[in-house]
Structure 1
Amino acid sequence: MEVIWNAIKNRTKDIKTVLDVATGEGYFVNLICKNISDYTSIIGIDPNENAIAKASKLYTNSRIKFHKSKAENIPYGNDMFDMVSISRALHHLGDRKASMSEMYRVLRPGGVLIINEMIRDEQNEAQITRYMYHHLRAEIDRLAGMSHNETLTRYEIKQLVGNFRFNKISFLEYNQPDIDVFNRSEIERIEEGCDKISERFEDECIKEKSLEIKGRLWRYGIQNPTQYIVIAEK
């Protein structure tokens, strides 16, 4: 993910306060720490109490804090953060427009918004296998009452960001380099996941989707989707 940090390398010295939205267990916070050394405060928010508890145990630095909060109602004042980020979680949000409005509100003028999101359009066959499996897991999460939607397209992300008055917006893309799409351990892991889903659910549609994914694994392989990156200056 060097593409993100190379794009903002001339600005990192000015980034002191950071908000990471839908932080989960703090994966992206780790990357922020490695690439923005002069930060004074990083706050990660997520509605999942278990994820916040795990993140709080992982990060013992007093400058890093985690709080339970939904992106649609961020509990901080206007213009508070030099950088706001959301990584691989835009498709998890219940109300994307309201969440974007909140992220825009708490970002200071001159601050930078970073969105790193999986997309589903214009993917190769191995990537299609991955997002089919991801979408199946998302469908199962929704049945359990969780907010987990299908991944977005480039156009949908551009349209969402375009609703707000950013001074400058850059769009970048990232794909895994030199990936073995037929990695045996990864294929076997996904096969096992499909088998567990088929055993757990009686719904024929879900079973058919599981079988279709298994059928694609050794035919096309599996690869992470393209990451679509937005860097927007307020």
Structure 2
Amino acid sequence: MKELKSYLSQYENPRILDIGTGKGDFIAMIDYVYQDYSEIIGIDIVDYLLEMDESAFENNPKIKWMDLDVLETTFPKNSFDIISLSNTLHHIKDIKSMFNQMVEMLKPGGIIILSELISSNDLSEKQISHQLLHSFAAKIDHELNKVHSQIFSKENVMQAIEMYSPLPVDAIWELETKSFDEEITLEDLYRLVDGLLKNVKDSPKFEQYKEEAIAIKDYLQENGFSYATTICVVLKKQ
């Protein structure tokens, strides 16, 4: 994670916004490599995830959470030194408006760090577990009429940036996640699968989803878990 630390360290007490923060995975990575920030604000629109966030970081007063959509935020222009978009691109319907909003909120000289899980043909058996979980979550969200695409390829991510981002690419690398792989237990993953299944308990396809959930748990039990390949792309505002 030296590349991430190198970029964060360029700013003195930066104010950071994390968009689509979920349960705070990327914020945890930022805090792991660099603690000299003044504030991190995580925003998302899924209430139960935000509750999990607050309990995970309740002892850190510099980390705050807001139930907000990025396109409905009221932060003034030039509010943040760093904006991160962590595994959220594939959830966004209006990518162009999202990029424009982020650029408005970013200070001159600031950066956007976009991290995105990508599809790959050379995943390990442990990494395939992550891909299976993501695919299952995407199917459940689609059932609930939520925007959640299947995993993008690296080419898809870069095409979206080229098409919609007003800012140039400053750097790109694969994110090192090994330190975080070891913290995830099978029980955590089973709870995730059960939670997703519960969301579609009234669906006519529930039995089909239940069978897939059982198959995923069996695969996890046999192969374990590791994060699939994730790229980081840095965009810099002049």
- The TM-score with structure 2 as length reference comes to 0.74
Pick one of 19, 22, 25 that aligns with 1:21: 19
Q: CA deviation at 1:115?
A: 1.4
How many residues get paired? 227
Aligned to 2:160: 160
In 1, the alpha carbon distance for the partners of 2:119 and 2:100 equals: 24
Aligned to 1:49: 47
Aligned to 1:72: 71
After superposition, the Cα gap between the structure-2 partners of 1:129 and 1:51, relative to the gap in structure 1 and judged at 3 Å, is closer
CA contact (8 A) 2:186 2:221 kept: no
Q: Per-residue CA shift, 1:86-139, capped at 9, x if unaligned?
A: 222322333333222211221112101111211113342623453133212211
In 2, the alpha carbon distance for the partners of 1:89 and 1:27 equals: 12
Aligned to 1:174: 175
Q: Which amino acid aligns with 2:108?
A: P
After superposition, the Cα gap between the structure-2 partners of 1:157 and 1:74, relative to the gap in structure 1 and judged at 3 Å, is farther
Aligned to 1:96: 95
Aligned to 1:138: 138
Structure 1: gaps spanning 5 or more residues = none
After superposition, the Cα gap between the structure-2 partners of 1:25 and 1:212, relative to the gap in structure 1 and judged at 3 Å, is closer
In 2, the alpha carbon distance for the partners of 1:56 and 1:220 equals: 31
In 1, the alpha carbon distance for the partners of 2:130 and 2:28 equals: 24
State which drifts further: 33-42 or 16-25. 33-42
Q: Per-residue CA shift, 1:128-159, capped at 9, x if unaligned?
A: 45313321221112212433321211112112
CA contact (8 A) 1:19 1:81 kept: yes
Indicate the RMSD between aligned Cα atoms, in angstroms: 3.8
Aligned to 1:38: 36
CA contact (8 A) 1:18 1:84 kept: yes
Q: Which amino acid aligns with 1:173?
A: E
After superposition, the Cα gap between the structure-2 partners of 1:170 and 1:25, relative to the gap in structure 1 and judged at 3 Å, is same
In 2, the alpha carbon distance for the partners of 1:211 and 1:78 equals: 48
After superposition, the Cα gap between the structure-2 partners of 1:156 and 1:73, relative to the gap in structure 1 and judged at 3 Å, is farther
Aligned to 2:231: 228
Alignment of 1:95-114 (within 5 A): 95-114=94-113
Q: CA deviation at 1:66?
A: 1.5
State which drifts further: 80-89 or 47-56. 47-56
Structure 2: gaps spanning 5 or more residues = none
Q: Which amino acid aligns with 1:105?
A: E
Q: Which amino acid aligns with 2:144?
A: A
In 1, the alpha carbon distance for the partners of 2:225 and 2:150 equals: 18
Q: Per-residue CA shift, 1:194-219, capped at 9, x if unaligned?
A: 9x95x966538657756875787699
Q: Which amino acid aligns with 2:18?
A: D
CA contact (8 A) 1:20 1:29 kept: yes
In 2, the alpha carbon distance for the partners of 1:87 and 1:61 equals: 20
In 2, the alpha carbon distance for the partners of 1:12 and 1:47 equals: 28
Q: Which amino acid aligns with 1:100?
A: F
